[in-house]
A and B are shown apart, each in its own frame.
Chain A
Amino acid sequence: MPTILPALAAGALFGLGLIVSGMANPAKVLAFLDIAGEWDPSLAFVMGGAIPVAALGFALAKRRAAPLCAPAFSPPTKQGLDARLLGGAALFGIGWGLAGFCPGPALASFAFAGWKALLFVAAMLLGMAAFGRLSRPAPGPAPR
């Protein structure tokens, strides 16, 4: 299974990076967002470390017609700014600011954050399912 191994490795590296960087600690995330309080700028360094390395990967990929283990690149297809993008980002930010968890760190912290991470992720999956239900056309009768 050629697609499983690189995906597993990328997920593992991502999870370890979240721990090493401090991003998996909600207190640190909130301290970064708390500009008026005892501001901890560490998470700007996470972005500062992640973005150039990721950009290098995307630049290297431009020389290739296809990825190493898949038939084609799958870039995001949506273009332009719209109310869904900005409204969704606004709601996400409110949730992120309330608890200090975003999706990756919440999953990565299952190993050490106990029931709080599980509860957050359960609610997050419910929120995702609610969106799926609302955005899908009304579930009609059985297909023809």
Chain B
Amino acid sequence: MSTHFTPLASLLGGGMIGAAAALLWLSLGRIAGISGILGGLSSGGLSSGGSERAWRLAFLAGLIGAPLGYVAFIGMPGTEIAAGPVTLVLAGLLVGFGTRLGSGCTSGHGVCGIARLSPRSIAATLVFMATAAITVFITRHLTGG
């Protein structure tokens, strides 16, 4: 499975992601970390008021809804998911549990945290990049593949 190198589109899309993180911080003072936004909805936490829930739901509505608009007006983005159902479930469990235990994912640690020069986020990003690359190496080059 190979994909095309898309430096300009990736840079542009990355800039949009960074702008979204900047917008959420400047307007609401919140970190645009998807696992944190999602986890804060269900776990409630100590400060789960109505507005605490409202901004999270609004962000998620935009995150899920805008791609629907993209599909309707621009077209289907290229997507390829090789994983089967068992792998998807195992991966989902690890991602859900791991991001809550580690307080963040690619967005919260990888984008916002690094932009804030947070030592915790820089360390977390190095670790998840490493274990992800090792996992791909094992699944693609050592077993089956």
Residues of A within 8 A of B (CB): 1, 3-28, 30-31, 33-38, 40-43, 45-58, 60-61, 64, 66-70, 72-76, 78-81, 84-104, 106-113, 116-117, 119-132, 135
Contact = CB atoms under 8 A, between A and B. Distances in A.
Chain A facing B: main interface SS: helix
13 contacts: A12-B66, A14-B21, A17-B13, A26-B81, A50-B111, A61-B26, A73-B25, A84-B101, A95-B98, A102-B95, A111-B68, A120-B92, A128-B39
Max chain A Cβ within 10 angstroms of own Cβ: one of B4, B21, B98: B98
A97 B111 contact: no
Interface string B33-68: 011001100110000000100111011111111111
A23 B14 CA distance: 9
A128 B1 contact: no
Interface band, chain B: 35 or more
Contact of B102 (A37, A68, A88): A88
A27 B61 CA distance: 25
Contacts of A81: 119-120, 123
Contact of A25 (B20, B80, B133): B80
A109 B68 CA distance: 9
Contacts of B58: 3-5, 7-8, 11
A56 to B, nearest CB: 6
Contacts of A38: 2
